[in-house]
Structure 1
Amino acid sequence: MDKFMLDQAEGLRRLLTGSRSRVVAMCSGAAAGNGAGGIGKTSAVVNIAAALAALGKDVLVIDERQNALSASRLFGVPDNGTLATLMSGKRFLEDSVTNTPFGFALIAAPRDERISHVPAQWRVLLDGPADIVLIDTQLDRNGELSTLAAQAHEFVVITRVAPAAITEAYVCIKRLHYAHAIPRFRVIVNHVKNAADASVAFNNLATVASRYLAVQLMQAGRVAEDHRVSRAQELSRCAVEAFPATPAARDYRQIAAEMLHWPMVQSPQTVPVEMPKLGEHSINPGAARRMETPVTQLAMSSSASM
Protein backbone atom coordinates (compact mmCIF):
# COMPACT_ATOMS: atom_id res chain seq x y z
CA MET A 1 0.00 0.00 0.00
CA ASP A 2 1.14 3.53 -0.76
CA LYS A 3 3.16 4.98 2.14
CA PHE A 4 1.27 8.28 1.97
CA MET A 5 -2.03 6.48 2.55
CA LEU A 6 -0.53 4.51 5.45
CA ASP A 7 0.71 7.72 7.06
CA GLN A 8 -2.71 9.33 6.63
CA ALA A 9 -4.44 6.34 8.23
CA GLU A 10 -2.02 6.30 11.17
CA GLY A 11 -2.36 10.05 11.63
CA LEU A 12 -6.14 9.78 11.69
CA ARG A 13 -5.97 6.95 14.22
CA ARG A 14 -3.82 9.02 16.55
CA LEU A 15 -6.11 12.03 16.18
CA LEU A 16 -9.23 9.99 17.02
CA THR A 17 -7.76 7.93 19.87
CA GLY A 18 -5.43 10.50 21.42
CA SER A 19 -2.82 7.76 21.65
CA ARG A 20 0.86 8.17 20.90
CA SER A 21 1.73 4.54 20.23
CA ARG A 22 0.08 1.29 19.24
CA VAL A 23 1.36 -1.30 21.75
CA VAL A 24 1.37 -4.96 20.72
CA ALA A 25 2.38 -7.80 23.07
CA MET A 26 3.76 -10.82 21.25
CA CYS A 27 3.22 -14.03 23.21
CA SER A 28 3.68 -17.79 22.92
CA GLY A 29 2.73 -20.72 25.10
CA ALA A 30 6.15 -21.14 26.73
CA ALA A 31 6.17 -19.89 30.35
CA ALA A 32 9.39 -18.95 32.08
CA GLY A 33 11.49 -21.92 33.05
CA ASN A 34 9.45 -24.63 31.34
CA GLY A 35 12.02 -25.32 28.65
CA ALA A 36 9.52 -24.96 25.80
CA GLY A 37 10.38 -23.09 22.68
CA GLY A 38 10.90 -23.40 18.97
CA ILE A 39 7.85 -21.32 18.08
CA GLY A 40 9.86 -18.49 16.53
CA LYS A 41 8.39 -15.63 18.57
CA THR A 42 11.52 -13.49 18.72
CA SER A 43 12.20 -14.00 15.01
CA ALA A 44 8.66 -12.84 14.31
CA VAL A 45 9.08 -9.78 16.52
CA VAL A 46 12.30 -8.55 14.93
CA ASN A 47 11.21 -9.29 11.37
CA ILE A 48 7.86 -7.57 11.77
CA ALA A 49 9.64 -4.64 13.41
CA ALA A 50 12.05 -4.39 10.48
CA ALA A 51 9.16 -4.62 8.01
CA LEU A 52 7.28 -1.83 9.82
CA ALA A 53 10.41 0.32 9.83
CA ALA A 54 10.73 -0.23 6.07
CA LEU A 55 7.22 1.23 5.77
CA GLY A 56 8.51 4.39 7.41
CA LYS A 57 7.22 3.78 10.92
CA ASP A 58 9.03 4.56 14.16
CA VAL A 59 9.17 1.20 15.92
CA LEU A 60 10.31 0.34 19.43
CA VAL A 61 10.93 -3.28 20.44
CA ILE A 62 10.88 -4.00 24.17
CA ASP A 63 12.73 -7.22 24.95
CA GLU A 64 11.57 -8.98 28.12
CA ARG A 65 13.47 -12.18 27.41
CA GLN A 66 16.77 -13.08 29.06
CA ASN A 67 18.51 -15.85 27.18
CA ALA A 68 21.04 -16.42 24.43
CA LEU A 69 18.40 -16.16 21.70
CA SER A 70 16.80 -12.91 22.82
CA ALA A 71 16.68 -9.87 20.56
CA SER A 72 18.98 -7.99 22.94
CA ARG A 73 21.66 -10.64 22.64
CA LEU A 74 21.14 -10.83 18.88
CA PHE A 75 21.86 -7.12 18.43
CA GLY A 76 24.31 -6.65 21.31
CA VAL A 77 22.01 -4.45 23.42
CA PRO A 78 22.85 -4.03 27.14
CA ASP A 79 20.30 -5.90 29.25
CA ASN A 80 20.99 -4.41 32.67
CA GLY A 81 20.50 -0.94 34.10
CA THR A 82 19.15 0.98 31.12
CA LEU A 83 15.46 0.50 31.85
CA ALA A 84 15.95 1.30 35.53
CA THR A 85 17.61 4.63 34.78
CA LEU A 86 14.86 5.52 32.31
CA MET A 87 12.07 4.75 34.77
CA SER A 88 13.83 6.70 37.53
CA GLY A 89 13.87 9.78 35.31
CA LYS A 90 17.64 9.90 35.02
CA ARG A 91 17.58 9.37 31.26
CA PHE A 92 15.28 10.28 28.39
CA LEU A 93 13.75 7.60 26.22
CA GLU A 94 15.73 8.50 23.12
CA ASP A 95 18.95 8.19 25.14
CA SER A 96 17.96 4.79 26.53
CA VAL A 97 17.16 2.86 23.37
CA THR A 98 19.56 1.28 20.91
CA ASN A 99 18.90 2.01 17.23
CA THR A 100 19.44 -1.19 15.24
CA PRO A 101 20.77 -1.24 11.66
CA PHE A 102 17.33 -2.37 10.52
CA GLY A 103 15.41 0.79 11.32
CA PHE A 104 13.84 -0.03 14.67
CA ALA A 105 14.86 0.86 18.22
CA LEU A 106 15.37 -1.71 20.96
CA ILE A 107 15.46 -1.65 24.76
CA ALA A 108 15.98 -4.55 27.14
CA ALA A 109 13.49 -4.97 30.00
CA PRO A 110 14.85 -7.71 32.28
CA ARG A 111 12.57 -9.01 35.00
CA ASP A 112 14.47 -7.53 37.95
CA GLU A 113 14.02 -4.07 36.45
CA ARG A 114 10.30 -4.57 35.71
CA ILE A 115 8.79 -5.96 38.89
CA SER A 116 9.12 -2.76 40.97
CA HIS A 117 6.89 -0.61 38.74
CA VAL A 118 3.10 -0.22 38.77
CA PRO A 119 1.09 -0.12 35.53
CA ALA A 120 0.67 3.67 35.41
CA GLN A 121 4.44 4.21 35.49
CA TRP A 122 4.89 2.30 32.24
CA ARG A 123 3.13 5.06 30.31
CA VAL A 124 6.44 6.95 30.34
CA LEU A 125 7.83 4.19 28.13
CA LEU A 126 4.73 3.22 26.17
CA ASP A 127 3.42 6.71 25.38
CA GLY A 128 6.67 7.77 23.77
CA PRO A 129 7.26 8.87 20.19
CA ALA A 130 7.11 5.43 18.56
CA ASP A 131 4.29 4.71 16.14
CA ILE A 132 4.30 1.06 17.19
CA VAL A 133 5.73 -0.69 20.26
CA LEU A 134 6.28 -4.44 19.99
CA ILE A 135 6.86 -6.31 23.27
CA ASP A 136 8.67 -9.64 23.07
CA THR A 137 6.99 -10.97 26.19
CA GLN A 138 8.33 -13.30 28.83
CA LEU A 139 5.47 -14.97 30.67
CA ASP A 140 6.04 -15.75 34.33
CA ARG A 141 5.85 -19.22 35.87
CA ASN A 142 2.07 -18.92 36.08
CA GLY A 143 1.84 -18.10 32.40
CA GLU A 144 0.92 -14.46 33.09
CA LEU A 145 2.13 -11.19 31.60
CA SER A 146 4.34 -8.63 33.29
CA THR A 147 2.73 -5.36 34.38
CA LEU A 148 4.50 -3.83 31.37
CA ALA A 149 3.17 -6.21 28.74
CA ALA A 150 -0.32 -6.14 30.26
CA GLN A 151 -0.59 -2.51 29.10
CA ALA A 152 -0.71 -3.54 25.43
CA HIS A 153 -3.62 -2.71 23.15
CA GLU A 154 -3.27 -5.96 21.19
CA PHE A 155 -2.16 -9.44 22.23
CA VAL A 156 -0.73 -11.70 19.54
CA VAL A 157 -0.19 -15.40 20.22
CA ILE A 158 2.33 -17.13 17.97
CA THR A 159 2.02 -20.85 17.39
CA ARG A 160 2.77 -23.47 14.76
CA VAL A 161 1.00 -26.40 13.11
CA ALA A 162 1.82 -29.13 15.63
CA PRO A 163 -0.39 -30.71 18.32
CA ALA A 164 1.88 -29.69 21.21
CA ALA A 165 2.17 -26.11 19.96
CA ILE A 166 -1.58 -25.72 19.44
CA THR A 167 -2.22 -27.10 22.92
CA GLU A 168 0.33 -24.67 24.40
CA ALA A 169 -1.32 -21.80 22.53
CA TYR A 170 -4.73 -22.67 23.96
CA VAL A 171 -3.35 -22.93 27.50
CA CYS A 172 -1.57 -19.59 27.01
CA ILE A 173 -4.79 -17.91 25.84
CA LYS A 174 -6.78 -19.42 28.72
CA ARG A 175 -4.33 -18.24 31.37
CA LEU A 176 -3.97 -14.76 29.91
CA HIS A 177 -7.73 -14.40 29.58
CA TYR A 178 -8.39 -15.30 33.22
CA ALA A 179 -5.39 -13.41 34.59
CA HIS A 180 -5.86 -10.16 32.64
CA ALA A 181 -9.49 -10.24 31.38
CA ILE A 182 -8.31 -10.13 27.76
CA PRO A 183 -11.33 -10.71 25.51
CA ARG A 184 -9.58 -10.95 22.15
CA PHE A 185 -6.34 -12.33 20.77
CA ARG A 186 -4.76 -12.35 17.34
CA VAL A 187 -2.92 -15.46 16.17
CA ILE A 188 0.10 -15.90 13.91
CA VAL A 189 0.74 -19.44 12.69
CA ASN A 190 4.48 -19.82 12.16
CA HIS A 191 6.64 -22.36 10.30
CA VAL A 192 3.83 -23.15 7.87
CA LYS A 193 4.40 -25.84 5.24
CA ASN A 194 0.88 -25.82 3.88
CA ALA A 195 -1.58 -22.92 3.99
CA ALA A 196 -4.56 -25.25 4.33
CA ASP A 197 -3.07 -26.88 7.44
CA ALA A 198 -2.52 -23.44 8.97
CA SER A 199 -6.16 -22.52 8.37
CA VAL A 200 -7.40 -25.75 9.92
CA ALA A 201 -5.16 -25.27 12.98
CA PHE A 202 -6.38 -21.70 13.48
CA ASN A 203 -10.04 -22.63 13.00
CA ASN A 204 -9.76 -25.45 15.54
CA LEU A 205 -8.11 -23.13 18.06
CA ALA A 206 -10.65 -20.34 17.47
CA THR A 207 -13.63 -22.70 17.79
CA VAL A 208 -12.46 -24.17 21.10
CA ALA A 209 -11.51 -20.75 22.53
CA SER A 210 -14.91 -19.35 21.62
CA ARG A 211 -16.82 -22.32 23.00
CA TYR A 212 -15.04 -22.79 26.31
CA LEU A 213 -13.65 -19.33 27.06
CA ALA A 214 -15.93 -16.94 25.15
CA VAL A 215 -12.73 -15.44 23.75
CA GLN A 216 -12.50 -14.10 20.22
CA LEU A 217 -9.52 -15.14 18.11
CA MET A 218 -8.57 -13.31 14.93
CA GLN A 219 -6.07 -14.31 12.26
CA ALA A 220 -3.01 -12.08 12.19
CA GLY A 221 -1.31 -14.03 9.42
CA ARG A 222 0.92 -16.99 8.76
CA VAL A 223 4.64 -17.34 8.05
CA ALA A 224 6.08 -19.96 5.73
CA GLU A 225 8.65 -22.40 7.01
CA ASP A 226 11.96 -21.04 5.78
CA HIS A 227 15.46 -22.02 6.95
CA ARG A 228 16.73 -18.60 5.91
CA VAL A 229 15.00 -17.04 8.90
CA SER A 230 17.31 -18.92 11.25
CA ARG A 231 20.25 -18.26 8.91
CA ALA A 232 19.57 -14.52 9.12
CA GLN A 233 19.49 -14.82 12.91
CA GLU A 234 22.87 -16.55 12.87
CA LEU A 235 24.16 -13.55 10.94
CA SER A 236 22.63 -11.13 13.48
CA ARG A 237 20.30 -9.86 10.79
CA CYS A 238 16.60 -9.98 9.88
CA ALA A 239 15.21 -12.15 7.10
CA VAL A 240 13.19 -9.27 5.63
CA GLU A 241 16.44 -7.37 5.14
CA ALA A 242 18.92 -10.17 4.43
CA PHE A 243 16.68 -12.37 2.25
CA PRO A 244 13.81 -10.10 1.12
CA ALA A 245 12.62 -12.34 -1.74
CA THR A 246 11.99 -15.42 0.42
CA PRO A 247 8.47 -16.63 1.33
CA ALA A 248 8.92 -15.89 5.05
CA ALA A 249 10.09 -12.34 4.36
CA ARG A 250 7.04 -11.80 2.18
CA ASP A 251 4.77 -13.07 4.94
CA TYR A 252 6.37 -10.86 7.60
CA ARG A 253 5.85 -7.82 5.35
CA GLN A 254 2.22 -8.76 4.82
CA ILE A 255 1.62 -9.05 8.58
CA ALA A 256 3.32 -5.70 9.18
CA ALA A 257 1.24 -3.93 6.54
CA GLU A 258 -2.01 -5.33 7.91
CA MET A 259 -1.03 -4.48 11.49
CA LEU A 260 -1.17 -0.79 10.61
CA HIS A 261 -4.88 -1.16 9.87
CA TRP A 262 -5.93 -3.09 12.97
CA PRO A 263 -8.70 -1.14 14.76
CA MET A 264 -7.30 0.60 17.81
CA VAL A 265 -8.64 -0.84 21.07
CA GLN A 266 -8.10 0.24 24.64
CA SER A 267 -5.76 -1.76 26.79
CA PRO A 268 -7.67 -3.85 29.39
CA GLN A 269 -5.15 -2.64 31.98
CA THR A 270 -5.16 1.05 31.07
CA VAL A 271 -4.91 3.31 34.11
CA PRO A 272 -6.11 6.92 33.53
CA VAL A 273 -3.22 8.65 35.26
CA GLU A 274 -1.34 11.54 33.72
CA MET A 275 2.38 10.88 33.62
CA PRO A 276 5.18 13.13 32.37
CA LYS A 277 6.33 12.22 28.88
CA LEU A 278 10.06 11.90 28.43
CA GLY A 279 11.85 12.09 25.15
CA GLU A 280 9.61 13.77 22.59
CA HIS A 281 12.08 13.21 19.77
CA SER A 282 11.81 10.50 17.16
CA ILE A 283 13.40 7.14 17.92
CA ASN A 284 13.61 6.16 14.30
CA PRO A 285 16.93 4.32 13.18
CA GLY A 286 -4.79 -19.19 39.54
CA ALA A 287 -8.34 -18.45 38.60
CA ALA A 288 -8.22 -20.63 35.52
CA ARG A 289 -10.04 -23.95 35.62
CA ARG A 290 -8.51 -27.09 34.15
CA MET A 291 -10.25 -27.96 30.89
CA GLU A 292 -8.82 -31.20 29.67
CA THR A 293 -11.58 -31.73 27.10
CA PRO A 294 -10.86 -28.73 24.81
CA VAL A 295 -7.12 -29.24 25.05
CA THR A 296 -7.54 -32.87 24.05
CA GLN A 297 -9.82 -31.85 21.19
CA LEU A 298 -7.21 -29.39 19.95
CA ALA A 299 -4.44 -31.95 19.98
CA MET A 300 -6.55 -34.53 18.18
CA SER A 301 -7.92 -32.14 15.55
CA SER A 302 -4.47 -30.67 14.91
CA SER A 303 -3.03 -34.15 14.44
CA ALA A 304 -5.78 -34.99 11.97
CA SER A 305 -5.00 -31.92 9.89
CA MET A 306 -1.30 -32.66 9.52
Structure 2
Amino acid sequence: MSKRVTDQADGLRRLLAQTPTRVVAVAGMGPGAGATTTAMNLGAALVQQGKNVLLLDEHCPKERSACDGWAIDPLGNLAGARLGIERAAARAGSGVHVLPAPPGVAHDATDPRSMWPSGVVIVDAAFDGEGRLSALAQGADELLLVLQPHPACITSAYAGIKRLHYAHGLQQMRFLVNGVTDVDAAQKVMSNLANAGSRYLALSLQPAGLVRSDPRLADAWRLRQTAVEAFPASAAAVDFRRVADDMGRWPWREVGVRAPSSSSPQLQQPLQPSHAVAA
Protein backbone atom coordinates (compact mmCIF):
# COMPACT_ATOMS: atom_id res chain seq x y z
CA MET A 1 0.00 0.00 0.00
CA SER A 2 1.41 3.43 -0.92
CA LYS A 3 2.22 6.03 1.71
CA ARG A 4 -0.46 8.33 0.26
CA VAL A 5 -3.14 5.65 0.62
CA THR A 6 -1.92 4.87 4.15
CA ASP A 7 -2.13 8.56 5.10
CA GLN A 8 -5.67 8.75 3.69
CA ALA A 9 -6.68 5.65 5.66
CA ASP A 10 -5.23 7.17 8.85
CA GLY A 11 -7.20 10.34 8.18
CA LEU A 12 -10.42 8.42 7.64
CA ARG A 13 -9.98 6.44 10.87
CA ARG A 14 -9.38 9.69 12.70
CA LEU A 15 -12.54 11.23 11.26
CA LEU A 16 -14.70 8.22 12.06
CA ALA A 17 -13.31 7.99 15.60
CA GLN A 18 -14.01 11.71 16.10
CA THR A 19 -10.68 12.26 17.83
CA PRO A 20 -9.22 15.24 15.99
CA THR A 21 -6.89 16.32 18.79
CA ARG A 22 -3.38 14.87 18.83
CA VAL A 23 -1.56 14.95 22.18
CA VAL A 24 2.24 14.91 22.05
CA ALA A 25 4.39 14.77 25.21
CA VAL A 26 7.89 16.25 24.79
CA ALA A 27 10.51 15.20 27.35
CA GLY A 28 14.20 15.97 27.64
CA MET A 29 16.66 13.13 28.13
CA GLY A 30 19.07 14.86 30.47
CA PRO A 31 19.79 18.44 31.56
CA GLY A 32 20.19 20.88 28.71
CA ALA A 33 18.60 18.59 26.13
CA GLY A 34 16.37 21.45 24.98
CA ALA A 35 12.95 19.86 25.41
CA THR A 36 11.17 23.07 26.44
CA THR A 37 12.70 24.99 23.54
CA THR A 38 11.63 22.14 21.26
CA ALA A 39 8.06 22.15 22.60
CA MET A 40 7.79 25.93 22.18
CA ASN A 41 9.23 26.00 18.65
CA LEU A 42 7.11 23.07 17.50
CA GLY A 43 4.05 24.81 18.94
CA ALA A 44 4.87 28.04 17.12
CA ALA A 45 5.50 26.14 13.87
CA LEU A 46 2.18 24.29 14.16
CA VAL A 47 0.32 27.58 14.69
CA GLN A 48 1.93 28.90 11.51
CA GLN A 49 0.46 25.85 9.76
CA GLY A 50 -2.98 26.99 10.90
CA LYS A 51 -3.39 24.57 13.79
CA ASN A 52 -4.85 25.35 17.21
CA VAL A 53 -2.13 24.59 19.75
CA LEU A 54 -2.32 24.23 23.52
CA LEU A 55 0.93 23.77 25.42
CA LEU A 56 0.59 22.21 28.88
CA ASP A 57 3.60 23.31 30.92
CA GLU A 58 4.57 20.81 33.63
CA HIS A 59 7.63 22.93 34.56
CA CYS A 60 5.81 26.20 35.31
CA PRO A 61 6.58 28.36 37.27
CA LYS A 62 10.25 27.34 37.21
CA GLU A 63 12.93 29.26 35.37
CA ARG A 64 13.40 28.22 31.72
CA SER A 65 9.83 26.93 31.53
CA ALA A 66 7.62 27.80 28.57
CA CYS A 67 5.78 30.37 30.68
CA ASP A 68 9.12 31.93 31.59
CA GLY A 69 10.39 31.78 28.01
CA TRP A 70 7.37 33.61 26.62
CA ALA A 71 7.11 35.86 29.72
CA ILE A 72 3.44 35.03 30.24
CA ASP A 73 1.44 34.48 33.41
CA PRO A 74 -1.66 32.30 32.91
CA LEU A 75 -4.53 32.93 35.30
CA GLY A 76 -5.09 29.25 36.09
CA ASN A 77 -3.77 25.75 35.61
CA LEU A 78 -5.03 22.48 34.21
CA ALA A 79 -6.71 21.53 37.49
CA GLY A 80 -9.11 24.45 37.18
CA ALA A 81 -9.34 24.51 33.41
CA ARG A 82 -12.80 22.93 33.39
CA LEU A 83 -13.96 26.50 33.97
CA GLY A 84 -12.66 27.30 30.49
CA ILE A 85 -9.34 27.19 28.69
CA GLU A 86 -9.80 30.71 27.37
CA ARG A 87 -9.94 32.10 30.90
CA ALA A 88 -7.25 29.91 32.43
CA ALA A 89 -4.62 29.85 29.69
CA ALA A 90 -2.42 32.63 28.39
CA ARG A 91 -1.89 33.20 24.68
CA ALA A 92 1.74 33.75 23.72
CA GLY A 93 2.69 36.10 20.90
CA SER A 94 3.29 33.02 18.76
CA GLY A 95 -0.39 32.15 18.99
CA VAL A 96 0.21 29.13 21.25
CA HIS A 97 -2.10 28.89 24.26
CA VAL A 98 -0.14 27.97 27.39
CA LEU A 99 -1.56 26.42 30.54
CA PRO A 100 0.47 25.30 33.58
CA ALA A 101 0.02 21.63 34.47
CA PRO A 102 2.23 21.08 37.52
CA PRO A 103 2.67 17.37 38.37
CA GLY A 104 1.06 16.46 41.68
CA VAL A 105 -1.89 18.80 41.21
CA ALA A 106 -5.19 16.93 41.05
CA HIS A 107 -5.62 16.99 37.29
CA ASP A 108 -4.42 13.51 36.39
CA ALA A 109 -7.93 12.39 35.46
CA THR A 110 -8.36 15.38 33.14
CA ASP A 111 -8.19 14.46 29.47
CA PRO A 112 -6.98 17.54 27.58
CA ARG A 113 -8.85 16.34 24.49
CA SER A 114 -12.11 17.12 26.26
CA MET A 115 -11.08 20.76 26.64
CA TRP A 116 -9.24 21.20 23.35
CA PRO A 117 -11.47 19.49 20.79
CA SER A 118 -9.36 20.19 17.71
CA GLY A 119 -5.71 20.82 16.96
CA VAL A 120 -2.63 19.77 18.90
CA VAL A 121 -1.88 19.57 22.61
CA ILE A 122 1.82 19.59 23.50
CA VAL A 123 2.79 18.48 27.01
CA ASP A 124 6.16 19.90 28.07
CA ALA A 125 6.72 16.91 30.33
CA ALA A 126 8.64 16.77 33.60
CA PHE A 127 10.02 13.54 35.08
CA ASP A 128 9.53 12.64 38.74
CA GLY A 129 12.41 11.70 41.05
CA GLU A 130 12.48 8.17 39.68
CA GLY A 131 12.52 9.18 36.03
CA ARG A 132 8.85 8.46 35.37
CA LEU A 133 6.27 10.46 33.47
CA SER A 134 3.12 12.00 34.88
CA ALA A 135 -0.22 10.40 34.10
CA LEU A 136 -0.90 13.33 31.78
CA ALA A 137 2.22 12.63 29.69
CA GLN A 138 1.61 8.88 29.77
CA GLY A 139 -1.80 9.45 28.18
CA ALA A 140 -0.35 11.26 25.16
CA ASP A 141 -0.71 9.84 21.67
CA GLU A 142 3.02 10.25 21.14
CA LEU A 143 6.05 10.58 23.39
CA LEU A 144 8.82 12.65 21.78
CA LEU A 145 12.17 12.42 23.56
CA VAL A 146 14.79 15.13 23.00
CA LEU A 147 18.49 14.34 23.32
CA GLN A 148 21.87 15.82 22.49
CA PRO A 149 24.19 14.00 20.05
CA HIS A 150 27.17 13.63 22.42
CA PRO A 151 28.26 10.10 23.44
CA ALA A 152 27.67 10.63 27.19
CA CYS A 153 24.24 12.15 26.49
CA ILE A 154 23.28 9.30 24.18
CA THR A 155 24.29 6.67 26.74
CA SER A 156 22.31 8.50 29.45
CA ALA A 157 19.35 8.87 27.10
CA TYR A 158 19.35 5.16 26.30
CA ALA A 159 19.31 4.33 30.01
CA GLY A 160 16.39 6.74 30.45
CA ILE A 161 14.53 5.16 27.55
CA LYS A 162 15.02 1.76 29.14
CA ARG A 163 13.57 3.05 32.45
CA LEU A 164 10.55 4.52 30.67
CA HIS A 165 10.02 1.33 28.74
CA TYR A 166 9.87 -0.81 31.86
CA ALA A 167 8.09 1.76 34.07
CA HIS A 168 5.23 2.47 31.66
CA GLY A 169 5.23 -0.50 29.30
CA LEU A 170 5.51 1.72 26.23
CA GLN A 171 6.00 -0.03 22.91
CA GLN A 172 6.79 3.06 20.88
CA MET A 173 8.63 6.33 21.43
CA ARG A 174 9.93 8.96 19.06
CA PHE A 175 13.13 10.91 19.52
CA LEU A 176 14.64 14.11 18.19
CA VAL A 177 18.36 14.85 18.15
CA ASN A 178 18.94 18.48 19.16
CA GLY A 179 21.99 20.75 18.95
CA VAL A 180 23.46 18.98 15.93
CA THR A 181 26.77 20.20 14.50
CA ASP A 182 27.48 17.22 12.24
CA VAL A 183 24.38 16.10 10.34
CA ASP A 184 25.90 12.88 9.01
CA ALA A 185 27.03 11.82 12.49
CA ALA A 186 23.61 12.66 13.94
CA GLN A 187 21.87 10.57 11.29
CA LYS A 188 24.12 7.65 12.21
CA VAL A 189 23.23 8.13 15.87
CA MET A 190 19.52 8.07 14.98
CA SER A 191 19.91 4.85 13.03
CA ASN A 192 21.96 3.17 15.77
CA LEU A 193 19.58 4.22 18.54
CA ALA A 194 16.55 3.01 16.61
CA ASN A 195 18.25 -0.33 15.97
CA ALA A 196 19.31 -0.68 19.63
CA GLY A 197 15.75 -0.11 20.82
CA SER A 198 14.40 -2.76 18.49
CA ARG A 199 17.15 -5.31 19.12
CA TYR A 200 17.63 -5.05 22.88
CA LEU A 201 14.30 -3.71 24.18
CA ALA A 202 11.75 -4.94 21.62
CA LEU A 203 10.83 -1.25 21.43
CA SER A 204 9.98 0.87 18.41
CA LEU A 205 12.22 3.96 18.63
CA GLN A 206 11.28 6.20 15.73
CA PRO A 207 13.56 9.11 14.69
CA ALA A 208 11.53 12.32 14.47
CA GLY A 209 14.35 14.33 12.91
CA LEU A 210 17.17 16.60 14.01
CA VAL A 211 17.65 20.25 14.85
CA ARG A 212 20.93 21.93 14.05
CA SER A 213 22.89 23.91 16.62
CA ASP A 214 22.00 27.55 16.13
CA PRO A 215 23.00 30.70 18.10
CA ARG A 216 19.69 32.23 17.07
CA LEU A 217 17.94 30.00 19.61
CA ALA A 218 19.60 31.89 22.47
CA ASP A 219 18.93 35.22 20.75
CA ALA A 220 15.26 34.33 20.41
CA TRP A 221 15.03 33.35 24.09
CA ARG A 222 16.39 36.76 25.09
CA LEU A 223 13.66 38.31 22.95
CA ARG A 224 11.07 36.13 24.74
CA GLN A 225 10.24 34.41 21.48
CA THR A 226 11.07 31.21 19.64
CA ALA A 227 13.45 30.97 16.70
CA VAL A 228 10.45 30.08 14.54
CA GLU A 229 8.91 33.45 15.38
CA ALA A 230 11.94 35.72 15.58
CA PHE A 231 14.32 34.19 13.04
CA PRO A 232 12.24 32.12 10.59
CA ALA A 233 15.15 31.70 8.13
CA SER A 234 17.54 30.34 10.78
CA ALA A 235 18.75 26.74 10.58
CA ALA A 236 16.93 25.72 13.77
CA ALA A 237 13.66 27.33 12.68
CA VAL A 238 13.81 25.51 9.35
CA ASP A 239 14.40 22.21 11.16
CA PHE A 240 11.61 22.76 13.67
CA ARG A 241 9.15 23.56 10.88
CA ARG A 242 10.18 20.37 9.08
CA VAL A 243 9.55 18.28 12.19
CA ALA A 244 6.22 20.03 12.81
CA ASP A 245 5.18 19.31 9.24
CA ASP A 246 6.12 15.64 9.64
CA MET A 247 4.04 15.40 12.84
CA GLY A 248 0.89 15.72 10.77
CA ARG A 249 1.83 12.52 8.94
CA TRP A 250 2.62 10.41 12.00
CA PRO A 251 0.28 7.40 11.93
CA TRP A 252 -2.39 7.38 14.60
CA ARG A 253 -2.14 4.59 17.11
CA GLU A 254 -3.99 3.38 20.18
CA VAL A 255 -3.22 5.17 23.44
CA GLY A 256 -2.02 3.00 26.27
CA VAL A 257 -0.51 0.19 24.18
CA ARG A 258 1.70 -1.88 26.41
CA ALA A 259 4.92 -3.68 25.71
CA PRO A 260 5.40 -7.47 26.00
CA SER A 261 5.84 -8.75 29.53
CA SER A 262 9.29 -8.69 31.11
CA SER A 263 9.43 -12.46 30.81
CA SER A 264 10.02 -12.12 27.07
CA PRO A 265 13.52 -13.33 26.20
CA GLN A 266 14.09 -10.23 24.10
CA LEU A 267 13.76 -8.04 27.19
CA GLN A 268 16.48 -9.87 29.04
CA GLN A 269 19.28 -8.51 26.86
CA PRO A 270 21.79 -6.41 28.84
CA LEU A 271 22.37 -2.72 28.18
CA GLN A 272 25.00 -2.53 25.48
CA PRO A 273 28.20 -0.44 25.70
CA SER A 274 27.88 3.19 24.65
CA HIS A 275 29.65 2.68 21.32
CA ALA A 276 26.85 0.34 20.26
CA VAL A 277 24.53 3.35 20.11
CA ALA A 278 26.79 6.35 19.68
CA ALA A 279 29.15 5.05 17.01
- Name structure 1 gaps, 5 residues minimum: 1-7, 31-36, 271-286
User: Deviation digits for residues 104-145 of structure 1, max 9, x if unmatched?
Assistant: 1110111242xx344xx222x233234111111001111111
Matches within 5 A, 1:21-36: 21-30=21-30
Give the superposition deviation at 1:59.
0.6
Q: Note closer, same or farther for the CA distance 1:28–1:211 as it changes in structure 2 (3 Å cut).
A: same
Match of 1:273 in 2: none
User: Deviation digits for residues 133-168 of structure 1, max 9, x if unmatched?
Assistant: 111100111111101111101111111210121112
Which is worse superposed, 44-53 or 68-77?
Answer: 68-77
Q: Note closer, same or farther for the CA distance 1:99–1:80 as it changes in structure 2 (3 Å cut).
A: closer
Which is worse superposed, 13-22 or 214-223?
Answer: 13-22
Contact conserved, 2:71 with 2:224, CA < 8 A, in 1? no
User: Deviation digits for residues 217-258 of structure 1, max 9, x if unmatched?
Assistant: 111111011011111011100101111111111000000011
Give the TM-score taking structure 2 as reference length: 0.86
SS of residue matched to 2:144: strand
Match of 1:200 in 2: 188
Match of 2:154 in 1: 166
Which is worse superposed, 261-270 or 215-224?
Answer: 261-270
Does residue 104 of the first structure (1) align with residue 76 of the second (2)? no
Between the aligned partners of 2:232 and 2:73, the Cα distance in structure 1 is 28
Does residue 73 of the first structure (1) align with residue 68 of the second (2)? yes
Give the superposition deviation at 1:103.
1.4
Contact conserved, 1:180 with 1:269, CA < 8 A, in 2? no
Between the aligned partners of 1:73 and 1:226, the Cα distance in structure 2 is 21
Contact conserved, 1:42 with 1:136, CA < 8 A, in 2? yes
1:61 to 44, 55, 59: 55
Contact conserved, 2:45 with 2:241, CA < 8 A, in 1? yes
Equivalenced residues, count:
264
Give the TM-score taking structure 1 as reference length: 0.79
- Name structure 2 gaps, 5 residues minimum: 1-7
Determine what percentage of the aligned residue pairs are the same residue: 37
Does residue 85 of the first structure (1) align with residue 62 of the second (2)? no
2:44 to 43, 50, 56: 50
Give the superposition deviation at 1:301.
5.0
Letter in 1 for 2:230: A
Between the aligned partners of 1:233 and 1:78, the Cα distance in structure 2 is 17
Letter in 2 for 1:109: A
1:214 to 198, 202, 206: 202
Contact conserved, 1:80 with 1:108, CA < 8 A, in 2? no
Match of 2:3 in 1: none
User: Deviation digits for residues 184-228 of structure 1, max 9, x if unmatched?
Assistant: 111111111111111111122112211211001111111011011
Matches within 5 A, 1:128-167: 128-167=116-155
